[in-house]
Amino acid sequence: MDSLTSMDLAGEFILACEMLKSPLEEMIKNLEPSPSCIISTNALPWTQQVADNFKIPRYIFETISCFTLLCSHKLSQAQIQETEISDSESFLVPDIPHRVEFTKAQLPGTTRKSSDQVKKLVDRIKKCRLSARGTLVNSFEELEPWYVEGYRKENQRVWCIGPVSLCNKNLAEKSDRGDKASIDEQSCISWLDSREPSSVIYACFGSLCRMSAAQIKEIGLGLEASNFAFIWIIRSLDSSAEVEKWLADEKFEERLEGRGLIIRGWAPQVLILSHPSVGGFLTHCGWNSTLEGICAGLPMITWPMFAEQFYNEKFIVYVLKIGVRIGVEVGVGPGAVEEQSNALVKWDQVKKSIENLMDDDEEEGRDRRRRAQKLGEMAKAAIEQGGSSYLNITLLIQDVMQARK
């Protein structure tokens, strides 16, 4: 999806993905031995038909948390979207263990008008979810035990098998994870090695979030004003002529040489987050990034924009208590740069949030960092032999064997 020049092409992209069905079936016919199961995400509902054709079980791989899955289910049952409340009026998620409030404007699907193709895809996803044998979740049980248990009551076969990013253990694997990095990993590590432990802010907003030039300027000014060292990722699609002119006119990189490192394009995020010099993560709250921050034991500044990112913010700040909100209240759709003029986060908000997160002099900041570090240790233990995710993979294999019998 990050290769699309506009999110208006999402419908065509979905159709293009479905064209993989025939070649996949041809490949499966020629595999020896034949597959025991198919594991696919909700975004590929047509794989259920492939699984049915070959009479093999399909398992859904959920790229969101059990917290989001359960909250979404409870709000769907309560039919919140059909109620008369305004987009800005807050409401509680019913029947969950924590007090969590949303507004309609923060829920997925309210930030952007969906095309007919996307609506049809959502309907197919709902139908195919009921046909799947079970659900794998990129999470771990110790992270959200209340929500794993709650979601299991709705769907019996649920296995948390994450965090999957921890399968990348050595330097080369961490560096190559995702796309090709736009910076030599050795120069990146050397820069981080020159910094004090827990002194650097890492600011990255994922592969799909588009930012206006005005918003990028505010982020840069906020990072500068905070007086903390930082690594700042500017996506290649966001690196417009206007942004580059501003950086050059302000001599931004020369002015902050040694304190600030700007990476244009793709960054080796797991490698950076796991470095001891990094002390905080300014994130858009995508679930992959959220988990990678948790695995690194880092407190986070939350800046959700669309999809389920507001769910993840609530989870980080109010359930795990390892985050500080940047303060956005309304989502903007992926690629919806024009919507950001009404929701511009000013430089002083960025500065204040960074100072709040990195302040280890206050007890609240120290507790937040301790909780984050503890979760990082728990994440690593979950995937090791005898850990909860390790055991869940074993249970999954046993279930596949049982289904095949």
Q: Where are the domains of the chain?
A: 7-164+383-404, 172-380
pLDDT for 112 equals 46
Q: What's the pLDDT tens digit per position in 98-142?
A: 999 999 889 887 544 556 766 777 788 888 888 899 999 999 999
Name the β-bridge partners of 158. 135
**How high is the pLDDT of residue 111?**
43
Q: Which two tokens stand for residue 234?
A: 């500017």
Report which secondary-structure segment, H or E, holds 62: strand 58-62
- Where residue 342 falls among pLDDT bands split at 50, 70, 90? low
State pLDDT tens for residues 247-258.
999 999 999 998
Angstrom distance (rounded) from CA 378 to CA 375: 5
The rounded mean pLDDT for the chain is 89
pLDDT for 239 equals: 62
CA distance 93 to 125: 23
Q: To 5 degrees, how large is the angle CA 6–CA 69–CA 40?
A: 65
**What's the CATH number for 7-164+383-404?**
3.40.50.2000
Express as a percent the part of the chain with pLDDT over 90: 68
Q: How many helices (H) and strands (E) does the chain have?
A: 17, 12
Distance CA 242, CA 72 (A): 39
SS3 387: coil
The yes-or-no answer to whether 7-164+383-404 and 172-380 have a common fold is: yes
CA distances from 103 to 111, 171, 312 (A): 12, 42, 14
Question: Would you say 99 and 92 are in contact if contact means Cβ atoms under 8 Å apart?
Answer: yes
pLDDT band at 7 (very low <50, low <70, confident <90, very high): confident
Give this prediction's pTM: 0.91
User: Before 299, cis peptide (omega within 30)?
Assistant: no
Kindly report, residue by residue over 240-298, the tens digit of the pLDDT: 789 999 999 999 999 999 899 999 888 899 999 999 999 999 999 999 999 999 999 99
The residues with which 261 forms a beta bridge, in sequence order, are 231
Question: Residue 291 CA to chain centroid, in angstroms?
Answer: 7
Q: How many angstroms from the chain centroid is the CA of residue 246?
A: 29
Separation of CA 264 from chain center: 20
Q: Which pLDDT tens digit goes with each residue over 172-228?
A: 665 555 555 557 788 899 999 999 999 999 999 987 777 889 999 999 999 999 999
Q: Which CATH topology does 172-380 take?
A: Rossmann fold (3.40.50)
